[in-house]
Amino acid sequence: MSSLRIDYPIRLTKNPMKKIASFVLIACVAFPFGRAWPAERVVPFGTEPWGPEVFRDRRAKLLSQMKTGAAVVLSAPTTDNPLDGSVRQEADFLYLTGLPQEAGAALLLAPQAADKEILYLAPSVPENDRWFGYRAFLPNRELEGKLGFRRLRRMETLGITLSTYLHHWHELHFLGPLVGYQSEVPRVLDIYKKTAERIPGSQIKDDIDLLPRMRMVKEPRELEKLTRAADITVAGHLEAMRRVRPGMREGELKHILEDAFYKAGAKRTGYGSIVGAGPDGCVLHYFRDDRVIDSNDLVLIDAGAEFDYYVSDVTRTFPANGKFSPEQRKLYDVVLRAQKAALAKVRAGVKWEELREAANKVIIDAGYYDYYIHNLGHFVGLQVHDAGNFDDPIPENAVITVEPGIYIPERNIGIRIEDTIVVTKQGHHNLSGKLPR
């Protein structure tokens, strides 16, 4: 193992255009500077949830798809309230580095470069470490092996290095995230603009499909985590089904559900759990949790556990009193048949449109299409709405949801049935299939 080096912007070769094909810059927001750096100390963690070689291989695969230029992938910004523990790492950053904390940046160089990987880290603030726990701050020689990078560098040199390389390649690759037209401009584009303005001839290349196409094909190790997340999720849903009683509040049932997640091994939920009874089940993203569950209500639970950063997404709808009314049963059967019709079409190479058409036909034929107000499903992985390309055929080992629904607020009926499945060559494997439908 080579010794750790901490230095300033790297030296270019005499002919960098031939020697270095491309590089990726992975950046994140760091803690404020201004303190002297402390003496070296033990760092009690490394990459998560696997060793550094997993993430090194992923970075190499990404670089192999790029030819020239630079790309920036930001981590989650530093939280204003570190006490609440609510910050989730940006999934692309976690996928490529295995680093869960907010502060740091990584510069990856193509195989032709002498220095292939550089990790940027921010100065340590010892009093913050005492309050919020140790983070991977310089200087520390143990980080080289734990985090899988050959060289560490001070965070404040990041902009200098990016500008230096842009003088030679003039190309910045935008890898995401894709945001809505009303959203704020992604932070990475702001970095690109400020850097490119200083360097004539610079351009931004749209490579937003590169990481989604990597991430939507799950590695065997990822499927193991997703299977565990689904098992925990099923356990939580079963506990909620067993303990629901008319007269309890939605929030009480939500607590029962999530407590079962934690007891089964989850450290957090995959997203905000939705527990809606009666008309609240018609609100797709319902979070008030204050309705008293009536005996005649249907209860809709859309919730998933997170295990080692991978999540599950499952929805079930059931009668609070244990028995469907005739109308509830009729509508439930329509939704169930729609889901089964779509699942029957799932196989590697199928397109999302084929699945949607299969589910839609059942609901249209039953006369309830006006009450079906959302899409059929999405990819699942490090995020509940994970990266993936909806225009491409769905590949083998993609993990997706299939979740048709019917919502009729004036009748106090909201029904959705959702499972998380693995797409296989000949069909699918239902990760949440142990949960009754």
pLDDT of residue 25: 46
Averaged pLDDT for residues 169-189 = 79
Q: How far is residue 429's CA from residue 432's CA, in Å, rounded to a whole number?
A: 9
Residues of the chain with CATH 3.90.230.10: 220-430
Rounded CA-CA distance 413/324 in Å is 11
The CA distances from residue 363 to 31, 117, 166, 334, 350, in Å, are 52, 53, 54, 6, 21
pLDDT level of residue 408 (50, 70, 90 thresholds): very high
pLDDT band, residue 246 (cuts 50/70/90): very high
Say which range, 56-65, 240-249, 337-346, 424-433, has the weakest mean pLDDT: 56-65
Which pLDDT belongs to residue 1? 40
- pLDDT, residue 170, reads 83
> How would residue 133 be classed by pLDDT, with cut points 50, 70 and 90?
low
* String of DSSP letters for 275-330: EEEGGGGGSTT-----PBPPTT-EEEEEE-EEETTEE--EEEEEETTS---HHHHH
When mean pLDDT is compared across 5-19, 124-138, 245-259, the lowest value belongs to: 5-19
- pLDDT tens column, 281-299: 999 999 999 999 999 999 9
Residue 344: both structure tokens together: 């029957």
Residue pair 21/65 in contact by the 8 Å Cβ criterion: no
276 Rama class: left (phi>0) / alpha (psi -120 to 50) / beta:
beta
Tokens of 62: 């990404």
Is domain 220-430 in CATH 3.90.230.10, yes or no? Answer: yes
Q: What angle do CA 219, 222, 223 make, to 5 degrees?
A: 90
* The pLDDT of residue 180: 66
Which of these ranges, 6-10, 172-176, 376-380, has the smallest mean pLDDT? 6-10
% of the chain with per-residue pLDDT over 70: 79
In angstroms, rounded to a whole number, what is the distance separating the alpha carbons of residues 123 and 272?
A: 34
CA 26 – CA 59 distance, rounded (Å):
10
Q: Which amino acid is residue 358, in one-letter code? A: A
* pLDDT band per the 50, 70, 90 thresholds, residue 117: confident
Under DSSP, the state recorded for 377 is: -
74 contacts 28 by C-beta, under 8 angstroms = yes
Query: Which pLDDT score, from 0 to 100, does residue 192 have?
Result: 84
Q: What is the pLDDT of residues 43-91, one digit of tens each?
A: 456 899 999 999 999 988 988 888 777 787 777 776 555 545 567 888 9
For residue 142, give both structure tokens. Answer: 């143990």
Amino acid sitting at position 356: R
Under the banding of pLDDT at 50, 70 and 90, the label for residue 37 is very low
Residues carrying CATH 3.40.350.10, the chain = 6-215
Sheet holding 305-307, edge to edge: 268-269, 305-307, 310-311
CB atoms within 10 A of CB 78: 16
The answer to whether 236 and 258 are in contact (CB under 8 A) is yes
> Which uninterrupted H or E stretch holds 227?
helix 220-243
φ/ψ (deg, to 5) at 408: -130, 85
Averaged confidence pLDDT in the chain: 85
User: How far from chain centre, in Å, is Cα 67?
Assistant: 27
179 vs 356, more confident: 356
- Tens digits of residue pLDDT in 307-357: 999 999 999 999 999 999 999 999 999 999 999 999 999 999 999 999 999
**Amino acid 289: pLDDT:** 95
What is the arithmetic mean of pLDDT over 407-427? 98
Contacts of 181-184 with C-beta under 8 Å, sequence gap 24+, read: none
Residue 127 has pLDDT above 80, yes or no: no
In this structure, whether the domain defined by 6-215 belongs to CATH 3.90.25.10 is answered with no
Closest CA to 421 of 361, 349, 347, 362: 347
- What separation in angstroms does the CA of 290 have from each of 76, 244, 253, 304, 430? 32, 15, 11, 20, 32
pLDDT-derived band at 162 (thresholds 50, 70, 90) equals confident
Distance between CA atoms of 354 and 376, rounded to whole angstroms?
A: 11
pLDDT band (50, 70, 90) for residue 165: confident
Asked if pLDDT for residue 231 goes beyond 70, the answer is yes
> From CA 426, how far away is CA 327, in angstroms rounded?
36
280 neighbors 250 (Cβ within 8 angstroms):
yes
For residues 358 and 373, what is the distance between their CA atoms, to the nearest angstrom?
16
Q: Which two tokens stand for residue 131?
A: 């309050």
Three-class SS of residue 172?
A: strand
Rounded CA separation 225/307 (Å): 6
pLDDT at 27 over 60: no
Task: Please tell me whether residue 388 adopts helix, strand or coil conformation.
Answer: coil
| Residues β-bridged to residue 98 | none
The predicted structure's pLDDT at residue 150: 76
At 171 the pLDDT is 83
| pLDDT at residue 28, rounded to an integer | 43
> What pLDDT digit, counting tens, does each position of 368-390 carry?
999 999 999 999 999 999 999 99
Q: Which residues, at least 6 apart from 36, have a Cβ–Cβ distance to it below 8 Å?
A: none
Tell me which of 107-111, 193-197, 293-297, 416-420 is least confident: 107-111
The mean-pLDDT minimum among 26-30, 163-167, 184-188, 416-420 falls in: 26-30
> In whole angstroms, what is the distance from residue 339 CA to residue 335 CA?
6
- Selection from 99-103, 155-159, 370-374 with the highest mean pLDDT: 370-374
pLDDT given at position 99: 87
> d(Cα 226, Cα 326) in Å, to the nearest integer?
36
Q: How far apart are CA 284 and CA 322, in angstroms?
A: 23
Beta-bridge partner residues of 429:
422
pLDDT mean over 247-266: 99
Residue 111: band (very low, low, confident or very high) from pLDDT cuts 50, 70, 90: low
